Structure 1
């Protein structure tokens, strides 16, 4: 079974890399856009920080997985799975990056339900803290965005809640005893003595979003020098808020087209050309960072595997 899953995982990984290449070609990148030293600097900043963020973002998911499974899963086992599954977001459907994380369940012989529930918690807190930071940065301008997108957010949010509630209802009926057992076990994960570890996972995304906001602000300052301080702060919040809209909107993986729209709505047409360039640079940096994190995960996993082999075997 594990061998079959590994083969499937490799096939999906190759397909994901093919879609990554396709995405880069679809961006219609012009080399002339990067002759400006500031634009190139923004790309490098985005690439480096995003790579670090992706590698570190395994941590909260791992914390939730440890808490729900009751197992001390090493970071060395989770990080390569996380960075590889992160590439699957380029596959059509925009859900395979979450399904791919369940490879950890097969690798560590833990319940797939534990890993899936940990992924749900991971996504919920990621969205929550992104919303908190973006609203704080947008200030009074958030009211205009909410009035424009409230219906879409309401419908998509209600649909997501209804789907999750329906799935839980069906599972609770069909697997009543197992469902009760999981609820009982998960309640222990939220016990007082386990809360400090859970809180580390919960608040990780607050720190990550602060780092991301600083990165976006700095890149905006480099690419859109015409904007004043208040505009730069608002544009940073708009870029982050647009991620939420793109995340919950079906058919818009990565918020393609949405980020430009939200940012232009916030600042008008004052810096339209530079904003489009900024979004392009962030996308290019993000895609390359995803690939870089994947390669680092592969190298890391290979070194860990070699270190576990007896010296005689390595010779």
Structure 2
């Protein structure tokens, strides 16, 4: 089968021919119709987690998949051959399997039936980014009536977070650029703050002098990148980046928590899929590309040139 692999530690990803994966107990073999690209693929490709978790090469990239079940392993009774499904490969060592391939073996517990009205490309974009958005909102306790600032709203996770927060009845303030403002409002943002036009916290405070109730942080490598001053005293913060840490938020009198790595299970994937199938959640696709162009797609994500989700199609 064709697959996008990292041939060995430190080497550039490439398209290669591999054997179809062997099927283990509790797994299902999926013939891939579509697979999403995520920033985490570049982290794995660079060896960014190699010291923390075992990597085995050649390492196939990709974590999210939509396709058709070709076979089921021992002990699998709740997924049937021929079913159209959405799946996710959890962040568990050793890293070797991936979804950027014609076939992938996935734990049945991380596979949900795809609603018939939801296309494979939109479905493949859901698990990791949608799951991370949902986890970040839950960590901050986002609920109806709150004002929520989503920092990094124009990325793949951010566009889901905007929609999900709006669905909860929150007033959503999204960071983006003037070019992305219209689309973010279409997705449910009540206001868009242009992070290129000046400090985000200052702009937010002009709109909400008392501060927002919640900050959902999806961008930034240092605490100075995070607009903590936009949050009211006693407000809450959640983050999917390494900052701010718990000590920083506590020192500022803020609550909340961090999300290290989202790893959505069947229930989370099924919830996202049903919401999308009903038309209440959109997979905002910036690109749909063939497997032959997947490496270039990863390059664009690494360079920050892709907004929304990039999905590879193999159908």
TM-score (norm 2): 0.27
Larger Rg: 1 or 2? 1
Select the structure that is richer in strand. Answer: 2
TM-score (norm 1): 0.27
Greater relative CO (CA pairs within 8 A, separation 6+): 1
